[in-house]
Amino acid sequence: MNESNGADQVPYQNPYRKTDTAKFDELKELTENSDKYVAQLTAKGRRKDIKRGIFPKYKNLYEWVLSVQPQCLSDSKYSLPTKIFWILNGITDWTNPLVRCRNCGNPFIGKNVINLYAGYHEYCCPSCAGKSQDINRRKKLNSLARHGVAHPSMLTATTIKRKQTVLKLRGNENWNNCEKAKRTRLSKFGQYAPSDHAEKCKRTKARNGHPENWNNCEKSTQTRL
């Protein structure tokens, strides 16, 4: 009978720690327990001082960080906190989930961490952030707490302000850019509406258990209000 390999598994070891255990442990301890050290080591104005040897202890550690940093971070555009973040988290390339967008998976190439402790942003752009269920849930909760509605656009004051703005700019509070809508449909479908629009409506109504000529008049009235 084959024995389980669980007990024989080698525990994970940070690849950078293998290069110099003493320096890695020193870096980890100081960055975790000394805010003053982190400020001195990572401040932009201190880097030249470190190189000049004003802080010899930091200089040795600084040079070790540069010597073990991944090749992909050798460019000067990457900050020292970014390099330390990679080292402390054992990141060796851009395939690590810690350096990729949580939505699209694109790596944060060319970007630096927020700070040494927060790491990178969760998402690479507002579009990806907008697709996050967690962020949308938090937005909804915040809006409910502040305004009592799921979205600020549902506020009566917002509706009134929007109508006043449209009335001021267009002379009609119910104005819609119909001409642009027509041009868009013509460019996309070759006519004002897709050829299968009517058939699609019928299929949707049938799927939801409604007759072909059914319209949600009540919802339409509420939307206009």
pLDDT for 179-221, tens place per residue?
Answer: 888 888 788 777 666 556 677 778 888 888 888 777 777 776 6
How many helices (H) and strands (E) the chain has is answered by 12, 0
**Exposed, middle or buried by CB within 10 Å (0-12, 13-18, 19+), for 46?**
middle
In-domain check, residue 218: no
In-domain check, residue 174: no
Give the total number of structural domains in the chain.
1
DSSP 3-state of 74? coil
Cα 93 to chain centroid, rounded: 19
pLDDT reading at 225 higher than 80: no
In-domain check, residue 47: yes
What is the domain range of residue 123? 15-129
- Amino acid occupying residue 200: K
In-domain check, residue 161: no
Name the most confidently modeled range: 25-34, 38-47, 139-148. 139-148
